[in-house]
Amino acid sequence: MQLVIRATNLPVTDPIREHVSKRVLGAVKRFASRLSTVTVVLEDENGPRGGIDKACRIEAGLATTGEPVVVVDRSDDLYGAVDRATGRFKRALARRTERRNARQRRPRRAVA
């Protein structure tokens, strides 16, 4: 699995990069074999005007189906946006894999 971190309208410092990689890799470690690439896009939507404008977008494609999983969260604090987005991303991956496993376990009906 490859982790890509990009930013728009804000610098990616080493502490931010470490925080993002620690949180994202911790959230997806259970699903790492099912993911090919995880992309994290950090964005300051309003620039210097302030407000609740720090966004964290996490995107991943499932390796088996190519189905995208995308989560976006906004906060006034970049670290808070990353934390909330990784929690939501982990839950989204769990739901997606549970649904997929449930479909595979369902017995097929005999066609007569």
Contact 71, 91 (CB under 8 A): no
- Residue 56 CB-density burial (10 A; 0-12 exposed, 13-18 middle, 19+ buried): buried
Tell me the three state secondary structure of residue 78: helix
- Residues contacting residue 87 through CB under 8 Å, at least 6 positions apart: 27
Instruction: Give domain 2-105's CATH superfamily.
Output: Ribosome hibernation promotion factor-like (3.30.160.100)
> 88 falls in which pLDDT band (50, 70, 90)?
very high
Q: 1-5, 38-42, 94-98: lowest mean pLDDT where?
A: 94-98
Q: Encode pLDDT of 15-72 as tens digits.
A: 999 999 999 999 999 888 888 889 999 998 877 676 678 999 999 988 777 788 999 9
Domain coordinates of the chain in residue numbers? 2-105
Q: pTM (2 decimals)?
A: 0.82
